[in-house]
Each structure stands twice: as C-alpha cells, then as structure tokens.
C-alpha cells in the first residue's frame, strides 16, 4: 500500500462554501478614480505619473533613484544589464524562487550558479555562496523569499571582498526591513514586483531602486530601446528632433495607467503591511502546537513583509505525503499553493545540465511546504476558515 492510501477516505462537508485563493489584489474606488483620471488625460504612457510613482517608491525605501518597468521580470533583466553581466559570466543565486530570478541571467548569455538555502530562513545561504565564487563570478542575486530578508551583512561582505554586484530580487519584500533598514536601500540594485498578488499592484509592473547614478542611467536607457534624447549625451547631430540609440535595449516602459494605480496603492501600503503581519501572527499562534506542522520563524534583526505564509509539514508524523494534504485542503475550498519548485528542477534547466541533488536543503523544503492564503482583502472569517481547515486536515492525517 502507498502512503496515500487514506486519501480516498477524506471527505465530508468543507469548512468553506466558496473558494479562497492564496492571494488577491485590493482595488478600491480611489484606485479606480486614479486610473480613470489618467485615461481622461493627455498621457496614458511615458507621462508624469511615472515620475510620481517612482518618487513614491524611492521615498518609501530611502534611495536616490527608482526606475519603473513593465514587469518585475523586465526589471530584473534590466538590472543584470546595468550590472554589466555578459556571456561567460557566472551569477550566484538561489533556486527557491520563481524562474525569473535566474532566467534574467540567461537572457544575457551568462550562467546561473545555484547556492543552497539556509534551512532556518529559506533564503540563500552565505556559507553556500562562498565556495561557488570564482574568477567568472560577476554578481549575486538574492531573493527575499516570502518577504524575509536574506543575510545581507555577510552577503555584502562577500561581494565587497570579491568585487561582486548584489542584485536583490525583493518581489516579496516591499516594506520588509533588515536591521532597521528598508529592503530596497541595501543591495546595489533591488527589484520590486507589482503583480496582483504582491503588496501593491500595478496590474503587471516592476521597479528597480538604487543609489548608483551609473546604474540609473543604464536602466533608463535599457527600458527605452537604448535610446537617448539628452543633448549632453548625443554623439551626432543636434537638431531638436534628433535622438540616438546608443546601446541595445527593449521596450520595457511602464504605462501611466499602471503608475497611477501604483501611486494610489502606495497610499495604502502601511495598512496592507499591518494586515499581513497581523494575519501571519495569528496563523503562527494557531499552529504553534499543531503536531505535523512547522511554522515559519523570523530573525530578531529583520521584519518580514509577509508576502507568503508557508507551513512546513513534518511528514514523519503524518500518514500521507504533501500531495495528499494539498488535495485535502483544496477540498476544503482553501486555495493553497506551493512556492516554489526549485528552478533547476524544471525541464529547461535539466536540459542545460543541472542535476537533481544540487541544493539538498531547497529540495527537501520543496517536498514539505504548502502556501496558505494571505492577503489584506481576507476577512477574519476567511482567516479562521483557513485555520479550521488546516487543523482539520492535519488532525485527520496524523499518525495515531
């Protein structure tokens, strides 16, 4: 008999009548008015709302520059370009992330090198990074997984020692802090994502924050085909209409429609963070003594922004594997998810030669985690339903 032999026995009335997704945007009348105002204006793209939104982000995190892009993936691609990553370069990153965190390295012909995670924080381990650094290493891409900051003191020290650039994929971490500094003001380049399930949304969208003026110039050019109209930079003619493409670039521009939504959303970021932290705390309190479940922990020196709340299953205490628990929670109308499949396990990366077993901690974590619903639009009733559903399912499958 398989470990899943009890799955067919699980059933009964679900704790919820309606399906609850793991994440969902919060759009209110103020957001709608902000977007409508732009639609009725002269500029719906490449206009003044971009500048206002960029200012709101840079003021929030405390950097000199913020450059908006059409998506978080576009922003990561641009960050790698600005960092000068090219063919034959290697970039160290984590596999416990969405594919974009390493795909951006491939876009420029460079090679992703995967370092294992710290088993406590689930973020990239500085100790795992050290032996991977060689003469071809150009940068480190950290990921603030679930909203938990990586170990930046150690990582930045390694980067300085070896002359490396640190790019932070902070798609999960708007509002998170590391030793009382906001994420976005620590790495050389930091990316935030504005997908609908993130802390604020622009529909799709991303941004890079930095204090480096050279990076800023490269980022601005890259999102607009590598074209400049700046008279001080133009090499050739100087007619009023004249412009030049000086580097390769792409159309990665954010629209004013997106920026207007993002700017309106930023007015609510404080409330969004409070709700996420409140709900995460209630989950932890509810599950702290639940056999078969291991709750996430925060480091004393950091404050997570709680993009995701992930429980880890203690499979030694359960009659079934993660797949059965996942399916049972879905039957309860709880929209659980799994974040993430380690990147190098995807078929495309396997074809590139990456092998199973490369990052044991990440692979072990992947087999045992489930993402629970967590977003500000949830009600207390929604939260309590999730708690009831998890306790019901886990209790059912505990080994007696």
Write down the pLDDT at residue 1. Answer: 39
Q: Where in the chain is the domain with CATH 3.40.640.10?
A: 29-266
Half-sphere exposure of 270 (CA within 13 A, CB side): 2
Contact 41, 47 (CB under 8 A): yes
Contact 363, 43 (CB under 8 A): no
Write down the pLDDT at residue 61. Answer: 98
Report the C-alpha gap between 232 and 330 in whole angstroms. 59
Half-sphere exposure of 32 (CA within 13 A, CB side): 4
Report the C-alpha gap between 81 and 77 in whole angstroms. 6
Burial class (CB in 10 A: 0-12, 13-18, 19+), 376: middle
CB-based contacts of 21: which residues, under 8 Å, 6+ apart? 335, 373
Of 105, 86, 87, nearest in space to 143 by CA: 105
Report the C-alpha gap between 382 and 22 in whole angstroms. 11
Write down the pLDDT at residue 244. Answer: 94
Backbone angles phi, psi at 153, to 5 degrees: -60, -50
Report the C-alpha gap between 119 and 368 in whole angstroms. 12
What is the second-level CATH architecture of the domain 7-24+269-397?
A: Alpha-Beta Complex (3.90)
Burial class (CB in 10 A: 0-12, 13-18, 19+), 329: buried
**29-266 CATH:** 3.40.640.10
Write down the pLDDT at residue 10. Answer: 76
3-state secondary structure of 293: strand
Write down the pLDDT at residue 232. Answer: 87
CB-based contacts of 213: which residues, under 8 Å, 6+ apart? 64, 65
Q: Where in the chain is the domain with CATH 3.90.1150.10?
A: 7-24+269-397
| Token output for 227 | 């074209």
Half-sphere exposure of 279 (CA within 13 A, CB side): 29
Q: Is 198 a catalytic site residue? A: yes
Q: CB 120: neighbour CB atoms within 10 A?
A: 12
Q: List the pLDDT tens digit at each of the 400 positions of the chain.
A: 345 554 456 778 999 999 999 999 999 999 999 999 999 999 999 999 999 999 999 999 999 999 999 999 999 999 999 999 999 999 999 999 999 999 999 999 999 999 999 999 999 999 999 999 999 999 999 999 999 999 999 999 999 999 999 999 999 999 999 999 999 999 999 999 999 999 999 999 999 999 999 999 999 999 999 999 988 889 987 788 899 999 999 999 999 999 999 999 999 999 999 999 999 999 999 999 999 999 999 999 999 999 999 999 999 999 999 999 999 999 999 999 999 999 999 999 999 999 999 999 999 999 999 999 999 999 999 999 999 999 999 999 999 8
Burial class (CB in 10 A: 0-12, 13-18, 19+), 365: buried
Report the C-alpha gap between 194 and 69 in whole angstroms. 10
Report the C-alpha gap between 255 and 219 in whole angstroms. 16
Catalytic residue among 3, 5, 130, 198: 198
Write down the pLDDT at residue 2. Answer: 47
User: What is the CA 235 to chain-centroid distance, rounded?
Assistant: 39
């Amino acid at each position: 008999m398989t470990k899943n032999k009890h799955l067919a026995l699980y059933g009964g009335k679900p704790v919820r009548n309606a399906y609850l997704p793991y994440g969902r945007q919060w759009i209110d009348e103020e957001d709608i008015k902000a977007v409508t105002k732009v639609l009725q204006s002269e500029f719906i793209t490449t206009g003044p709302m971009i500048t206002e939104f960029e200012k709101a982000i840079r003021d929030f995190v405390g950097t000199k520059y913020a450059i908006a892009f059409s998506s978080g993936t576009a922003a990561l691609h641009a960050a790698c370009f600005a960092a000068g990553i090219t063919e034959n370069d290697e970039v160290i990153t984590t596999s416990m992330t969405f594919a974009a965190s390493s795909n951006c390295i491939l876009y420029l012909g460079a090679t992703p090198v995967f370092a294992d995670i710290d088993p406590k924080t689930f973020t990239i381990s500085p100790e795992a990074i050290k032996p991977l650094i060689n003469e071809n290493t150009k940068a480190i891409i950290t990921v603030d997984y679930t909203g938990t900051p990586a170990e930046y003191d150690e990582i930045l020290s390694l980067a300085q020692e070896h002359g490396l650039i640190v790019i932070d994929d902070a798609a999960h971490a708007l509002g998170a802090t590391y030793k009382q500094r906001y994420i976005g003001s620590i790495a050389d380049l930091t990316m935030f994502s504005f997908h609908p399930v993130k802390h604020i949304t622009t529909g799709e969208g991303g941004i890079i924050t930095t204090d480096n003026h050279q990076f800023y110039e490269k980022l601005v050019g890259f999102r607009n085909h590598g074209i400049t109209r700046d008279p001080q930079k133009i090499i050739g003619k100087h007619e009023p209409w004249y412009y030049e493409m000086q580097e390769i670039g792409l159309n990665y521009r954010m629209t004013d429609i997106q920026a207007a939504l993002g700017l309106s959303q930023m007015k609510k970021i404080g409330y969004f963070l409070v709700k996420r932290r409140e709900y995460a705390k209630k989950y932890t309190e509810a599950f702290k003594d639940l056999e078969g479940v291991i709750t996430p922990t925060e480091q004393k020196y950091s404050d997570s922004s709680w993009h995701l709340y992930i429980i880890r299953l203690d499979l030694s205490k359960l009659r079934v594997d993660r797949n059965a628990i996942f399916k049972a929670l879905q039957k309860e109308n709880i929209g659980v998810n799994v974040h993430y499949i380690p990147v190098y396990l995807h078929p495309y990366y396997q074809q590139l030669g990456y092998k199973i077993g490369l990052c044991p901690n990440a692979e072990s974590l992947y087999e045992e985690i489930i993402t629970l619903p967590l977003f500000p639009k949830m009600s207390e009733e929604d939260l309590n339903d999730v708690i009831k559903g998890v306790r019901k399912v886990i209790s059912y499958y505990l080994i007696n």
